[in-house]
Every structure is written in structure tokens, then in C-alpha cells.
């Protein structure tokens, strides 16, 4: 029996949440202290070494008023006329917009937090965000009501070194806290095989059931993406219809990432009969801060292998861009921002062998 997903199947990685709750799941960290405590200086001191290590860092500054555009400039005049304005120049851009009276600051920075490796928020001392408190000279501690303070740094302490240690542990922990789900990709016409490949059997199990079982050993949840008949031993998997604005495996992967936007995914096509749990563990071993996808490149191969690969939820940004452009080939992710292509060790490489014809079954 097969069923398509219902509200009861909605995972924690998709359930509606308020903006602050959303930020609590992302690598967002506060740098707080009274005026004159050195917040901006400290942030400037840690951003450079973090960026030097390859991290994409965002900073949110709380100010009394925003004055970033030259008064009387064309963009300033357009903003004064009532428009939201985006100014672009080379590889830089600046958006100046109105949030509205009922807008929430946390919601405003959420897109930044979902694409940066780490976001530092200056100020917002009464938010529930994890934070450090910077003491001014002679100050004894943070005021009452300031919560979730990870460290209090004295005026004469080595603040950059202390904050860097805190941020490296914090960023890694937040990245690794995102759940990993498994997605079995089915579909395709299987013309050369003559029958849908996910229905083929080996060792007493269907290829779909075997793939789903192996994913289940490493993943919190497993779904099936794509259309097709289910084999009798598949049980009652949660099934996701392909994304209507894409094609091929990209449509299945996008469907999964839209269903659970805060989950990371191990994706596996169902036509890899030599898939092993060790190959999946190898993929997960390459999950790290700043890596949006792990698409293996077999030794000597020209192309990457996107149909047995790891996708961080941040990679959805790339996939959505590809879908909008009508580029549905997942291997075109290779070379994009934050996409890694390590080579599996020889003893695991067979797991990426796909079977397309009856003659290849032997």
C-alpha cells in the first residue's frame, strides 16, 4: 500500500515556527554590551580570520536609524519617493527597504541566516539568542534580564581569541544539529531495463526496499520521491510527488527539500545495487561547516555523481536557481559555491555503479 504525505507526516524540519524560534536553529550568535564596550571593534577583529578560513559570515547591526545612502543620490531620491531600492555595483549590492510597523527584526535577518555559515548580531541583548557580554572598564557583569550569555569578557581580556574559540564550537554544533533525512529517487522510463528499476529484486528484497533500508540506518527519516508503483516489501513510505517546475532527479530532490526545508539530505537513486552503509557513512563524514553539497567524483571520472550524494539544506538555493533557469541536470552543481567533490576510496567506489540494462545485472 502506498500513501502520499499528509499533515500528520510533516517533520519537525518543516513545521511552522516563529522567527526567533527559526533563528534558534541556525548559526546566529549575539555580541552584546553597553555602548562603548567595544562590540563593533570585536566583531571586526573576528570576521577577518573567520573569512580567512573560508566561512561566509554575515553581520547584523542594531542602529537607531539607517543612513547608508548618500542623501540626494538617485537611489536616495527613489527611496524617498516610496520605493524599496536595490543598488548593484560590480559584485556588491545594497537593499534599502521598509519593513513595516508589524515587521519582526528576526524575520528580516532570517534569509541571511539561512545562507551564511555564521551570522553575528550586534546588540539585541534581550533576545533569546546565544550571546557574549562585553564588559566596559569597571563594569561587573551584564544587567538583569539578559539571558543565554555564553561568556562574559572583561575589558582587558584577549577578546578576539576567546570569541573565536566560542564561535568555532558554536558554528560546528549548529551546523551538525540539522537532521539528516534520506530520499530514495525513483522514476524514469527505464527503457533499456524494460521494467521500473525500483521494482527489481535481489537477495530477496526489492531495490527500493533495500535502498530505503540502508538510508534508514543513517537517517532520521526516509521518503520516496517520484512516481511509480511500489513493490510489496516497501511498506507504507511517505511519498513526495516530483516538483512540477523541474524534471528528472532534480524534481525529486527539490520536492524533498521543499517538504522539509531545514533537513539535510542523503539522496540515493534506486538503481545502485552495490550501495552500502559504509558508502553512506563516507558521504556523511564529509559533512562540515561551509559545505552545501558533497557530490563525489570517482577516480578518473569527468563528471560528479549527484544521485548518491549529500545535500545540506542551504544547497536548495542552488537547486531553485537551476530550476528557474531550466537547467535540470544535477551534475551541473559541480563547481558551484560551497559544493565539494571528494573522491571515494577504491573499496567504496562500486557503490556508485548504476545498472541500466539486464545485461549489467550479472
Residue-wise pLDDT tens digits, 131-161: 999 999 888 888 888 999 999 999 999 999 9
Q: How far, in Å, CA of 224 to CA of 269, rounded?
A: 10
Three cell numbers at 56?
561566509
310 phi and psi, to 5 degrees? Answer: -110, 135
Number of helical (H) and strand (E) elements in the chain, helices listed first: 9, 17
Instruction: Please give the CATH number for the structural domain made up of 179-360.
Output: 3.90.550.10
Q: List 92's β-bridge partners, or say none.
A: 89
Quick one: how far is CA 177 from the chain centroid?
11
Q: Where are the alpha helices (DSSP H) in 192-311?
A: 207-218, 248-259, 277-285
Q: How far, in Å, CA of 362 to CA of 360, rounded?
A: 6
Q: What is the pLDDT of residues 166-178, one digit of tens each?
A: 999 999 999 999 9
Q: Which fold has domain 26-177?
A: Rossmann fold (3.40.50)
Q: In this predicted structure, what is the pLDDT of residue 114? A: 85
Q: How far, in Å, CA of 162 to CA of 166, rounded?
A: 6
Q: Which residue numbers in the chain have pLDDT < 70?
A: 1-17, 63-70, 74, 78, 81-82, 97-103, 188-189, 194, 362
In sequence order, what are the residues at sequence separation of 6 or more whose Cβ sits closer than 8 angstroms to the Cβ of residue 100? none
Three cell numbers at 263?
533537513
Write down the domain spans for the chain.
Answer: 26-177, 179-360
Distance spanning both ends of the chain, measured CA to CA: 30
**Exposed e or buried b for every residue in 289-317, given b needs 16+ CB within 10 A?**
bbbbbbbbbbeeeeebbbbbbbbbbbbbb
Q: In this predicted structure, what is the pLDDT of residue 105? A: 77
Q: In this predicted structure, what is the pLDDT of residue 63? A: 63
Gyration radius from the chain CA atoms: 24
Q: In this predicted structure, what is the pLDDT of residue 67? A: 60
Helix (H) or strand (E) segment spanning residue 111? helix 105-113
Three cell numbers at 346?
577504491
The closest of 159, 105, 164 to 135, measured between CA atoms, is 159
Let me know if 342 is exposed, middle or buried by CB neighbors in 10 A (0-12, 13-18, 19+). Answer: middle
- What ranges make up the beta strands (E) of 175-332? 180-185, 201-202, 205-206, 221-225, 238-240, 264-269, 293-294, 308-311
Q: List 109's β-bridge partners, or say none.
A: none
Q: In this predicted structure, what is the pLDDT of residue 112? A: 85
**Maximum Cα interatomic distance, the chain, rounded to a whole number of Å:** 80
Q: In this predicted structure, what is the pLDDT of residue 12? A: 54
317 phi and psi, to 5 degrees? Answer: -60, -45
Amino acid at each position: 500500500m502506498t500513501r502520499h504525505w499528509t499533515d500528520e507526516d510533516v517533520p519537525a524540519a518543516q513545521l511552522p515556527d516563529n522567527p526567533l524560534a527559526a533563528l534558534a536553529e541556525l548559526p546566529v550568535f549575539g555580541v552584546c554590551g553597553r555602548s562603548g564596550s567595544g562590540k563593533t571593534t570585536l566583531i571586526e577583529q573576528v570576521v577577518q580570520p573567520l573569512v580567512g578560513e573560508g566561512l561566509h559570515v554575515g553581520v547584523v547591526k542594531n542602529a537607531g536609524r539607517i543612513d547608508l545612502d548618500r542623501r540626494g543620490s538617485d537611489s536616495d531620491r527613489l527611496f524617498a519617493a516610496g520605493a524599496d531600492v536595490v543598488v548593484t555595483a560590480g559584485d556588491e549590492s545594497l537593499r534599502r527597504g521598509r519593513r513595516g510597523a508589524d515587521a519582526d527584526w528576526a524575520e528580516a535577518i532570517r534569509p541571511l541566516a539561512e545562507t551564511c555559515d555564521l551570522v553575528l548580531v550586534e546588540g539585541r541583548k534581550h533576545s533569546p539568542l546565544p550571546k557574549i557580554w562585553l564588559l566596559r572598564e569597571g563594569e561587573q557583569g551584564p544587567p538583569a534580564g539578559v539571558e543565554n550569555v555564553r561568556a562574559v569578557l572583561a575589558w582587558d581580556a584577549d577578546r578576539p581569541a576567546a570569541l573565536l574559540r566560542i564561535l568555532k564550537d558554536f558554528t560546528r554544533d549548529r551546523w551538525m544539529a540539522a537532521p539528516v533525512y534520506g530520499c530514495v529517487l525513483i522514476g524514469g522510463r527505464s527503457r533499456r531495463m524494460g521494467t521500473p528499476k525500483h521494482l527489481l529484486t535481489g537477495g530477496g528484497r526489492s531495490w527500493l526496499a533495500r535502498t530505503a533500508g540502508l538510508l534508514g540506518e543513517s537517517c532520521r527519516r526516509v521518503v520516496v520521491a517520484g512516481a511509480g508503483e511500489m513493490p510489496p516489501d516497501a511498506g507504507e513510505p511517505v511519498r513526495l510527488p516530483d516538483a512540477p517546475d523541474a524534471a528528472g532527479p532534480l524534481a525529486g530532490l527539490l520536492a524533498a527539500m521543499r517538504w522539509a526545508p531545514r533537513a539535510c539530505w542523503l539522496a540515493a537513486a534506486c538503481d545502485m545495487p552495490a550501495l552500502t552503509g559504509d558508502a553512506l557513512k563516507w558521504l556523511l563524514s564529509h559533512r562540515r561547516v561551509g559545505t552545501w553539497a558533497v557530490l563525489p567524483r570517482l577516480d578518473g571520472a569527468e563528471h560528479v555523481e549527484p544521485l548518491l550524494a549529500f545535500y545540506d539544506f542551504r544547497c536548495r538555493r542552488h537547486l531553485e536557481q537551476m530550476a528557474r533557469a531550466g537547467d535540470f541536470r544535477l551534475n551541473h552543481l559541480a563547481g558551484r559555491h560551497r559544493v565539494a567533490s571528494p573522491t571515494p576510496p577504491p573499496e567504496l567506489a562500486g557503490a556508485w555503479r548504476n545498472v541500466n540494462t539486464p545485461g549489467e545485472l550479472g
